[in-house]
Each structure stands twice: as C-alpha cells, then as structure tokens.
C-alpha cells in the first residue's frame, strides 16, 4: 500500500477520477472545443517551463492539474450532447431517422429492447444513442447487432422513477450517454442494408453461429442460458428465478463474464503454456499467446464493456509478468484502470467496474495476511485454505460498496464460492472445448450430457443455498458516506496489522469514531424527521407517514396482497432505515404540522365544514363535482394517485386547469412528498 502511494501514476489516476466526477455531476466544463484546445496547449507549455529541478514542486502541481483537466475534458468530449450535430437538435415531427442497432437488451413482457446509434436525420449525418422499445409480435423477426433501421419516430426523454429511492434507469442510461427513447411496433420501421465494417457485427455473427450449434445439442433451456452467459457473455435468456438464486447465494458474479472468469482463464493458460519457458524468447511468446487468446475470448463474448474491462486488466497483468518486479499486480491494475478511464471515463460509475477492481485489490492486499494465519501441511487442505482466504478477502473488500448498492449480504457466500469456484476453471475450460466441437459439429452426445449434468448440478446447488433464507441478511442500510468510512477503517486496520504504530492506532480509532458518529447522526435524523408520501402504484393507493421514528403505511388491503414486499415501500424503508407499521385502511383525513390532507375515495363522501386551503387527495375514481368542491374548499393543491383511471385523472386535470387550481398526478409527476 505504501509503495502504491509513492507510485506517480496512482496520483494521476486519482486526479483523473476527481476530474471525471466533477464534470459528470457538476458540468463545470462547457466551453467550445477551440478554447479546450488552446487550454491544452497552454498547459503543455507550462509543463515544459516547470520541468527543471528547481521548479519540481510547480511541475508536480501542474502535472496533477493536467490529469484533473484530462478527466474533465474526457467526459465533455465523449458526450454527444455537446456537439452541434447531436440528433435531437435536428429532429422534427416529419424527420426520417436511420439507426444502427448496437446492443440487444433483456426483453420485458411487452417490448423487445435494444440500444441504437443514430446515424442520420433525413440525409444529415448526426450522432447520439437511443433506447429502442419494439412492441412484441409473434411474427416479428428480432433485430440483430449492426442491423440498420429507418423510422419516423417520436423521441421522448427517459423518465425518472415515479417513487423515491427506486432504481433510476434514466440515471443508469445517462452514464452511457443515452438520454432518449422511442417506442415502435413492427409497422413503424424498415430494415435496410448496412455495409459499414463493424468488428462488433462480425463478433455477433460468429457468436450466433456458436449459439445455433449449441441449441442443437441436448442442453436444457436453463443449462443453455447458463452456457450462453458463462462463455458468450449473453444473459438475456436467464430466467428471473435463476438470477434470484445466484444473487441470494452470493454468486451472481458467476453469471457475468468478469475479472473472475478472465483470471481463471489466465491461470489455465499460464499452466498450459509453461513449457514455452524452455525455449528462447519463450516467455515473450507465452505472453503474446495469452493476450491473443484473452482477446479472442472477448471477441466471441461480444466485446461488451464488462468483458473488455476484464480482458484489458488482465492483459496489463500478463504483460507486467514479463518484468518480474515487486508490486507488479498493483501497478498493472492502476495502469489498466487509468487507460480504461481515459478512453471510457463513465466506466467509473459502472458497478461492475467498481466491484471488479476493488475485489482484486482486496485479494492482493488482504489475502496474504489471512493466509499467514495458518499454514496447512497437507496439499489439498492448503489449497482449500488458500481458496477460502481469497473468497474472504474479496468479499471483505467489496462488502461496503455491495451493501451500499444492494443492501443485502448472503452469509453462505463462502460455501457457494468454496464449492463452485474450484470447479469453475474446469467448467470454463471444458465449456470452451464443447463450444468449439459443437461449432465444428464434432461434439459427442455423451460429452454434451456430462456438461449438461454439471451445469444442472451447479444450478441446483445454488437454488439450495438460496433457499436457506435464515442465512440471507436483507435490507441492510448503508449510505455512501458510511461506505466510504468503512473503507477508511479497513485501510487503517490493514496498515495497523502490517506494522503497529501509535499513529496508526490513533488513525484506526479515529475512523471508528467517525463511523459510529455517522450511524448516530442517521439515527437521530430518522427519529426526528416527519414526512408524508403519496406513492404511485397503478390501480392501488399507498400512503406513507413518517413520524416519531416510525413509518406508517396505509394501503387498500383488498388490492395490495403483499405490501411488505412491495418494491416501492421496500426501497423507501431501507433508505430511511426505519421500522414500518402497516395499516389496511386509509383514513379520510391526515393532519401534518403545516397542512391538512383530505381523502376522497370512490364513495365521493366528504365533509368541508371549517375546512379551507387544504390538500385534496382523490383515490379510486371518485365521481364528484370537482368544480363545486374547488369553490367550497379552495384547496391549495389537488392530487390524483395511481388508483384512478387515466381517463378520470385527465378529467380532474382539465377541471383544475379551468379553475386555476394546482394539480398533481402521480402518473406524470411521481410520488408527492410533503416534509
């Protein structure tokens, strides 16, 4: 760790990360490219001036600032919205748009989903990306990667979630520079010939040949889906049940090609190619062979972002092995991360990117310390112990950030990893052989059956682990600040363990104090906060009232069958870290410190005596004379939640507009929150 802090590229990486974060969240750079170019030239000249030794401090400062500037500009330059030819600036209602399909997403009940790159608006060349939703049709031929379609679409901005603290798909796509979506059906588009060279298209065509050959084998539907994910990087066919099983077993990382898979392939190649050391230049030939095989694997896996990241990381590690120096892995990781963020800066915000690098750093730094605790004499026991310490080190490293994102901890992850990971190398190795034999139409049936059984056993084992619900810790609250302080504590504890000093003891105790303080502050905020929330739920009414450290959920029990597992309530409950009480009735009135909320349900009965300037909530399609109500009560706001039909909601809106009364529909504006 100390050597890493003295490694200059590490300092530059931190500045690059800071610059990326600044630009993405605060948009501090909005100049023209001409000014950006002039600034770059100016910084370069200053660097040359300060390069002399007597200006060493100034040189270091300008160097760090340069990489901060690089982080800012890399985000700015890659955002298509900053260009004059961004497609949305040229689209009108009569425009024909040419779009190239670049990625296939997992379909939902109603739509097949794709990511597309926009090439032309009418005949004008433009740039930008869009989410494509195509209405499902049994006669519809699914689009392929690099297919080009011509459509006359209506582009809509991506919507934010309608309820607080739910997964923000709009924010997720914005980190891929996607800001708009289109929804079309079969009759709305025409597929055209795309003759442009695309390595992704060839990758997709090659992968489709492999998939076609695999479908002819004896593999069951679930086994084929797992093979498709493990070897080809395609998770679209995996059922929700299997994903849930692997998630709850703490082994979801097995279903996405990541650093774990590429690392195992690297270890296999290192062992297979060991004899090359006996030849002249054999080490270099081995390294070149490893790099070629890793990138071939990335090619057949579709060159997805996660695969490219993992292969890049281990390419650097493979190259660094040539030099046989200390801290080789740390420096390789830093270098690969620096290169990836320079090319694709928004990888920084990708959960997979964060987990991969943190897990590897955890293995590099923490695993040797754990391994020193015990030295088994028996070879088999030693290997099990080594694997055990690797799993613990990786899990300990990613635990804070994992809790921040997912709020759950599968305590049986050690069991699932100890059983499966030793066999994952064999599964990957024989899977690649089976894939090649199947493509060449040379795969024996008995070999396919053995592999099918192996994958089924893995699925069954994960299901058994996932069903041990008592060992799955869920709804664990963790804020970003708390995750950061947990890492501070882990780092200081790690340093203290290596070489105890008085200063390190003080730092460790200080990190514990800060961590405890954040939990106390969060608890105080939770107990003192008062909040009233009208959630959005189609065909239902759910109202939350937070007071005195408790969350009361009022709901229409005849409709909401399992309110405790309702996603919108669960997300709110975890974020607030608060005990929840459920009530299966909705009262006719709520009183807050500032406002009175009157509820009018389908019966349309209300009492307006001595009630003025209140908030009116309409639920379950009340048939009332809204104009008369507005004249009697003069409400400050009228709200219609998701339990109302959209047609009724539109009538309420028109009436409020005529009466010049503020109106809030949870269909359009989302949950209403009153603090």
Residues 283-326 have pLDDT tens digits of: 888 888 889 989 998 888 878 888 888 888 888 888 877 766 55
Over residues 459-467, the mean pLDDT reads 88
Reported as a pLDDT band with limits 50, 70 and 90, residue 177 is: very high
Q: In the structure encoding, which two tokens stand for residue 199, read together?
A: 């390595």
What is the per-residue pLDDT for 583?
86
* Domain 87-196 CATH class label: mainly beta
Closest CA to 389 of 374, 371, 372: 371
Residues 43-84 have pLDDT tens digits of: 666 655 655 554 555 566 677 777 888 888 889 889 999 889
Q: Which residues of 15-165 form beta strands (DSSP E)? A: 97-104, 111-121, 124-125, 129-135, 148-151, 156-157
Beta-bridge partner residues of 501: none
Residues 99-139 have pLDDT tens digits of: 999 888 888 888 889 999 999 999 899 999 999 999 887 66
Contact present, 181 and 133 (Cβ < 8 Å): yes
Residues 586-611 have pLDDT tens digits of: 888 998 888 889 999 988 888 777 77
Looking at per-residue pLDDT, the higher value among 321 and 496 belongs to 496
CA separation for the pair 465, 472 (Å, rounded): 9
Over residues 628-648, the mean pLDDT reads 92
Angle between helices 502-528 and 480-498 (to 10 degrees): 160
Q: Tell whether the model's pLDDT for residue 237 goes beyond 60.
A: yes
What is the per-residue pLDDT for 301?
82
Least confident among 58-72, 208-222, 435-449, 465-479: 58-72
What is the per-residue pLDDT for 276?
82
Q: Tell whether the model's pLDDT for residue 446 goes beyond 60.
A: yes
Please calculate the CA angle 559-565-566 and round it to the nearest 5 degrees: 55
Q: Which residues of 565-662 form beta strands (DSSP E)? A: 579-583, 589-591, 596-600, 615-618, 637-640
Please give the model's pTM, rounded to 2 decimal places. Answer: 0.84
Q: Is 239 helix (H, G, I), strand (E, B) or coil?
A: coil
Beta-bridge partner residues of 449: none
Contact present, 616 and 622 (Cβ < 8 Å): no
Annotated domain spans of the chain: 2-78, 87-196, 203-361+423-464, 480-514, 531-674
């Amino acid at each position: 760790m100390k050597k890493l802090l003295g490694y200059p590229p590490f300092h530059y990486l931190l500045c690059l990360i800071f610059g990326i974060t600044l630009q993405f969240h605060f948009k501090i750079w909005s100049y023209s490219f001409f000014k950006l170019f002039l600034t770059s030239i100016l910084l370069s000249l200053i660097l040359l001036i300060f390069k002399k030794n007597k200006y060493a401090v100034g040189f270091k400062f300008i160097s760090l600032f340069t990489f901060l500037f690089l982080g800012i500009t890399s985000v700015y330059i890659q955002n298509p919205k900053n260009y004059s030819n961004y497609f949305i600036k040229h689209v009108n209602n009569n425009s024909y748009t040419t779009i190239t399909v670049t990625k296939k997403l997992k379909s939902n009940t109603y739509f097949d989903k794709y990511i597309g790159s926009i090439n032309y608006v009418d005949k004008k060349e433009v740039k930008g990306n869009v989410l494509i939703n195509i209405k499902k049709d049994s006669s519809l031929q699914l689009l392929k990667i690099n297919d080009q379609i011509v459509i006359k679409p209506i582009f809509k901005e991506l919507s934010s979630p309608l309820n607080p603290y739910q997964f923000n798909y709009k924010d997720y796509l914005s980190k891929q520079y996607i800001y708009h979506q289109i929804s079309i059906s079969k009759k709305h588009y025409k597929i055209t010939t795309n003759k442009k060279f695309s390595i992704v298209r060839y990758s997709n065509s090659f992968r489709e040949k492999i998939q076609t050959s695999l479908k002819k084998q004896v593999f069951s539907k679930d086994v084929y889906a797992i093979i498709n994910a493990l070897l080809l990087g395609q998770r679209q066919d995996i059922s929700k049940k299997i994903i849930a099983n692997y998630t709850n077993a703490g082994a979801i990382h097995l279903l996405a090609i990541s650093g774990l898979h590429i690392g195992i392939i690297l270890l296999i190649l290192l062992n297979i190619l060991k004899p090359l050391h006996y030849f002249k230049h054999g080490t270099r030939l081995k390294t070149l062979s490893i790099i070629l095989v890793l990138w071939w694997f990335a090619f057949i896996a579709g060159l997805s972002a996660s695969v490219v990241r993992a292969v890049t990381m281990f390419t650097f590690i493979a190259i660094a092995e040539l030099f046989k120096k200390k801290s080789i892995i740390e420096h390789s990781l830093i270098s690969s991360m620096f290169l990836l963020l320079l090319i694709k800066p928004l990888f920084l915000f990708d959960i997979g990117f964060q987990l991969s690098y943190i897990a590897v750093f955890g293995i590099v730094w923490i695993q040797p310390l754990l391994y020193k605790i015990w030295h088994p004499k028996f070879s088999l026991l030693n290997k099990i112990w080594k694997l055990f310490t690797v799993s613990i080190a990786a899990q300990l490293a990613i635990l804070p950030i994992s809790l921040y994102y997912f709020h759950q901890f599968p305590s049986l992850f050690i069991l699932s990893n100890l059983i499966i990971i030793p066999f994952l190398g064999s599964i990957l190795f024989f899977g690649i052989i089976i894939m090649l034999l199947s493509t060449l139409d040379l795969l024996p049936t008995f070999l396919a059956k053995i592999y099918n059984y192996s994958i089924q056993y893995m699925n069954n084992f994960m299901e058994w682990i996932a069903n041990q619900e008592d060992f799955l810790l869920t709804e664990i609250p963790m804020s970003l600040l708390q995750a950061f302080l947990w890492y501070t504590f882990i780092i200081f504890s790690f340093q203290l363990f290596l070489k105890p000093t008085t200063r390190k003891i003080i730092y460790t105790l200080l990190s514990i104090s800060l961590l405890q303080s954040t939990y106390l502050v969060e608890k105080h905020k939770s107990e003192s906060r008062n909040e009233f929330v009208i959630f959005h739920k189609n065909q239902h009414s759910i109202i939350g009232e937070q007071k005195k450290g408790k969350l009361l959920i009022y709901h229409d029990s005849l409709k909401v069958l399992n309110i405790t597992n309702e996603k919108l309530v669960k997300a709110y409950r975890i974020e607030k870290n608060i005990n929840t009480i459920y009530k299966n009735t909705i009262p006719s009135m709520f009183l807050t410190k500032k406002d009175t909320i009157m509820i009018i349900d389908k019966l349309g009965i209300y009492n307006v005596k001595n009630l003025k300037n209140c908030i009116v909530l309409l639920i379950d399609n009340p048939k009332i004379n809204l104009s008369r109500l507005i004249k009697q009560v003069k409400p400050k706001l009228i709200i219609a939640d998701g339990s109302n039909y959209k047609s009724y909601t539109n009538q309420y809106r028109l009436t409020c507009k005529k009466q010049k009364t503020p109106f809030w529909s949870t269909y359009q504006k989302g949950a209403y929150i009153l603090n």
